[in-house]
Structure 1
Amino acid sequence: MHRLIASPFLSDYLLLHPGHPSGVRIPEARYNELRALTGPDAAPVWLHDAARQAWGLTLDRPPTADLLVRERSRYGYAKASWEINLGCDYDCEFCYLGEKRFEGLDWQGKQQLLRTMRDAGVLWLQITGGEALIDPEFGAAYEYAHQLGMMVQVSSNGSSLRKAPIRELFARHRPYRLTLSVYGATAETYEKVTRNRGSFGRFLDGLDAARADGLPVRLNVIVSDDNAHEVDDMVALCKRYGFPHQVFTNMSPTIDGEANPLASQAEAHMTPRSVFTGCNAGHTFFHVNPHGIASICKVGRDPSVNLITEGLATLPRLGQIAESLQLRTGGCSGCTKVGTCRTCRPLAKLYQEAGDRRELYCQHGGYGS
């Protein structure tokens, strides 16, 4: 398996070491030089130097054995997120996915989808769920993404990190980031939130395994009305393990516009969002659901394109969809605070479909004004 990746990335060219977030920017001439290497050709001196200086790597094999050179893509996408399966072993009341069904593409379809994303130019791939690690084909899909030259991040609840097959998989192919959610600092609270008996012990076992294996973990502290009394203790838990963390306090409606998650918010802990100034969703980034249906992001899911039945050529439509979804229509048309709005239009639309609790997302409604 390759230890280095040379790849186009938007208007740049990068040299990367799988499993490590740092990279080396290289000029186009050096990318072309690597692309032209064949068989027993000696690796250029600058490649040896870059690998040693950036990651402490010694290249002692023919470069074609250590290096994967990704081809240019005319589609211009750099990042994607993929829900491999919406099924989950937890049943959190505030989950934005709503009904979490165990369904999706078969293995052949997953392979086709991953190749399509590679051909679209996707270099950085987030695999999420549901709970990604419990998908029966997660290991095979994760390994295949690595073979295709993707830098893979995994989002998980951590309940399966203690398992030997997962530990062995991540030892062979290290993720560049492993993002785990924290739902409580005690068994009583954590299991009340997840509605899964024994889940706290499995979570801590997963954290222990990740720390022992030196995995690049980042923790997301999720605050709800059921665990808000343990916010400080959850942060302290993150610090004890030595993992960086972020605290998230604002819930969103489900992807179908249902209001259920909003009732679980700890409103005293909510914070105003930053001013929304636009994003690259649909242009250099896209999201894919378990059936291979691509949308501009996890929030703006409709309209969409089907990468399995329509193919790669349909992806450029996402840019047009992104522009149309950002138009301020319906409850946002004629808004006088467009310049300081804190909510993207697709998310505002979900709030409106969920009953228009305007104080949760709109400055006109009072919250964050």
Structure 2
Amino acid sequence: MHELIAAPFLNAHYVLRPGDPRGLKIPEHCHLGLQQAVADAAVVPDWLCRPVLKQWGLDLTDRSAAEALLVRTPSSFDYGRASYELNMACNWECPHCYLGVKEDAGLPWEDRDKILHVLRDAGVVWLQITGGEPTIDKGFAAAYSRAYELGMMIEVLTNGSRLHNPLILSLLTERRPYRLTLSLYGATEESYDRLTQRRGAWKSFRRGLDAAHAAQLPIELSLIVTRDNEHEIDAMYALAESYGVRTREYNNMTPTYFGTGETLSAQALTRRSKRGVFTGCDAGNTSLHVDPLGMASICKVARSKQIPLLEEGLAGLSKLGGIADQALLRQGGCTGCTLSKECSTCMPLAERYRQAKAPLGSYCQHTEKRKEVSTP
């Protein structure tokens, strides 16, 4: 299996090492040189051996380029990043989850394999595998392995409950993700099990976290702060610190992706953070999302217009740029807004809030009384 990946990414070229988010930027002619070295069954060139040894302590001297390197072919598309939901099923039942109803729906292996090849051919280098809970999916290992074999750098979003499973742990240890992001829902068994609505959830999480930490996997904890666990926020940070891992705090609850608002009641009102000014994003242009049925959209939020990837394949992705341009325009109740230049909410997300008939205060910066606007 390859030690390094040489890949074009956003008009540049990089050498990457699976399991590590760092990379080496190289000129295009060097990328072409690596392609030729692989084709000629030559050894890894000296100009690469030296920085690789310095960056990762990996000695490739006299190693076969074909054995050590996976050299990605440039794509006519420029989708460097993607997220892929394997399934919407989950073994937790968290009230804040933006997926809403958890449906155990997915695709057979042949179709998943086709989707991963399309993503590879679209230029995807950084792939986020998510769900639902991806590790409970029977096809998780196969999908993860194929993405790895195709030369993608992988992040897994998980609740951690299955990471102690020997087969999953072995897979992630041998074919390392560059990031393993675990959601943390509390700092005690009582609050954790109450929020997830599953007895034993805390114990499963801690077993998974301990196993991943012992295996020295690159862990990051997402601290999910809701009204049910906000009293434990300091303890949640202390737990993360005890493992020496990075953290991110998520405290803004959003409607479900199909526009219902039952998730908003989980909001910890005293913990809501102020978003930065929204100035646009790369959704639909250099990144995309694929749902469990193979429907591609510009992101996880904006799913009103999707491309059936299994039917249209790579060519269908050419439509996403236009969909993104339309989705990001100010529309509905936001048309003509006087605070448009200071707005912190993207338009697809604002649309979900309006569909959910959410109070303006949950997503809008206007403080004066205004007529509530919703989407039928």
TM-score between both structures, scaled by the size of structure 2: 0.96
- The answer to whether the 8 Å contact 1:358/1:365 transfers is no
Match of 1:3 in 2: 3
Determine which of 94, 112, 133 is the counterpart of 2:114.
Answer: 112
Residues 146 and 92 from structure 1, CA distance in 2 versus in 1: closer, same or farther, beyond 3 angstroms?
A: same
Match of 1:34 in 2: 34
What is the rounded CA distance, in whole Å, between the counterparts of 1:168 and 1:41 in structure 2?
A: 32
For residues 29-48 of structure 1, give each alpha carbon's deviation from its aligned partner in whole angstroms, at most 9, with x where no partner exists: 11010111235312211121
Match of 2:324 in 1: 322
- The answer to whether the 8 Å contact 2:8/2:74 transfers is yes
What is the rounded CA distance, in whole Å, between the counterparts of 2:286 and 2:68 in structure 1?
A: 28
The one-letter code matched in structure 2 to 1:51 is V
What is the rounded CA distance, in whole Å, between the counterparts of 1:184 and 1:44 in structure 2?
A: 50
Q: Is residue 207 from structure 1 mapped to residue 203 from structure 2 by the alignment?
A: no
What is the rounded CA distance, in whole Å, between the counterparts of 1:39 and 1:366 in structure 2?
A: 69
Match of 1:178 in 2: 180
Match of 2:51 in 1: 50
- The answer to whether the 8 Å contact 1:219/1:238 transfers is yes
What is the rounded CA distance, in whole Å, between the counterparts of 1:201 and 1:108 in structure 2?
A: 35
Q: Is residue 274 from structure 1 mapped to residue 295 from structure 2 by the alignment?
A: no
What is the rounded CA distance, in whole Å, between the counterparts of 2:297 and 2:41 in structure 1?
A: 43
- Quote the offset at 1:241 in angstroms: 1.1
What is the rounded CA distance, in whole Å, between the counterparts of 2:216 and 2:40 in structure 1?
A: 34
Determine which of 297, 300, 313 is the counterpart of 1:298.
Answer: 300
- Quote the offset at 1:50 in angstroms: 2.2
- 3-state secondary structure, aligned to 1:255: coil
- 3-state secondary structure, aligned to 1:125: strand
Q: Is residue 137 from structure 1 mapped to residue 135 from structure 2 by the alignment?
A: no
- 3-state secondary structure, aligned to 1:269: coil
What is the rounded CA distance, in whole Å, between the counterparts of 2:20 and 2:104 in structure 1?
A: 31
Match of 2:89 in 1: 87
What is the rounded CA distance, in whole Å, between the counterparts of 1:149 and 1:3 in structure 2?
A: 10
- 3-state secondary structure, aligned to 2:270: helix
- Quote the offset at 1:82 in angstroms: 0.5
- Quote the offset at 1:356 in angstroms: 3.3
- The answer to whether the 8 Å contact 2:77/2:123 transfers is yes
Determine which of 228, 231, 253 is the counterpart of 1:229.
Answer: 231
- Quote the offset at 1:296 in angstroms: 0.5
- The answer to whether the 8 Å contact 1:111/1:141 transfers is yes
Match of 1:152 in 2: 154
Between 1:163-172 and 1:111-120, the stretch displaced more is 163-172
Match of 1:123 in 2: 125
Match of 2:373 in 1: none
What is the rounded CA distance, in whole Å, between the counterparts of 2:284 and 2:310 in structure 1?
A: 18
Q: Is residue 350 from structure 1 mapped to residue 352 from structure 2 by the alignment?
A: yes
- The answer to whether the 8 Å contact 2:80/2:286 transfers is yes
Residues 282 and 330 from structure 1, CA distance in 2 versus in 1: closer, same or farther, beyond 3 angstroms?
A: same
What is the rounded CA distance, in whole Å, between the counterparts of 1:107 and 1:357 in structure 2?
A: 43
> Any unmatched runs of 5+ in structure 2?
370-376
For residues 76-121 of structure 1, give each alpha carbon's deviation from its aligned partner in whole angstroms, at most 9, with x where no partner exists: 1100000011100000011000111111111000100000000000
- The answer to whether the 8 Å contact 2:309/2:316 transfers is yes
Q: Which 4+ stretches in 1 moved above 4 angstroms?
A: none
- 3-state secondary structure, aligned to 1:315: helix
What is the rounded CA distance, in whole Å, between the counterparts of 2:296 and 2:368 in structure 1?
A: 35
- Quote the offset at 1:366 in angstroms: 6.3
Between 1:48-57 and 1:277-286, the stretch displaced more is 48-57
The one-letter code matched in structure 2 to 1:22 is R
Aligned-residue sequence identity (percent) comes to 48
Match of 1:70 in 2: 72
- 3-state secondary structure, aligned to 1:126: strand
What is the rounded CA distance, in whole Å, between the counterparts of 2:137 and 2:7 in structure 1?
A: 29
For residues 239-277 of structure 1, give each alpha carbon's deviation from its aligned partner in whole angstroms, at most 9, with x where no partner exists: 111111111111000011010010111111112111111
- 3-state secondary structure, aligned to 2:238: helix
* Pairwise CA RMSD: 1.1
Between 1:53-62 and 1:271-280, the stretch displaced more is 53-62
- Quote the offset at 1:330 in angstroms: 1.1
- 3-state secondary structure, aligned to 1:180: strand
Q: Where does 1:249-260 land on structure 2 (aligned, <5 Å)?
A: 249-260=251-262
What is the rounded CA distance, in whole Å, between the counterparts of 1:110 and 1:249 in structure 2?
A: 33
- The answer to whether the 8 Å contact 1:39/1:62 transfers is no
Match of 1:242 in 2: 244
What is the rounded CA distance, in whole Å, between the counterparts of 1:120 and 1:40 in structure 2?
A: 27
Number of paired residues?
Answer: 367
What is the rounded CA distance, in whole Å, between the counterparts of 1:352 and 1:365 in structure 2?
A: 17
Residues 55 and 93 from structure 1, CA distance in 2 versus in 1: closer, same or farther, beyond 3 angstroms?
A: same
Q: Is residue 264 from structure 1 mapped to residue 270 from structure 2 by the alignment?
A: no
> Any unmatched runs of 5+ in structure 1?
none
- The answer to whether the 8 Å contact 1:359/1:366 transfers is no
- 3-state secondary structure, aligned to 1:273: coil
- Quote the offset at 1:165 in angstroms: 0.7
Match of 1:101 in 2: 103
Match of 1:14 in 2: 14
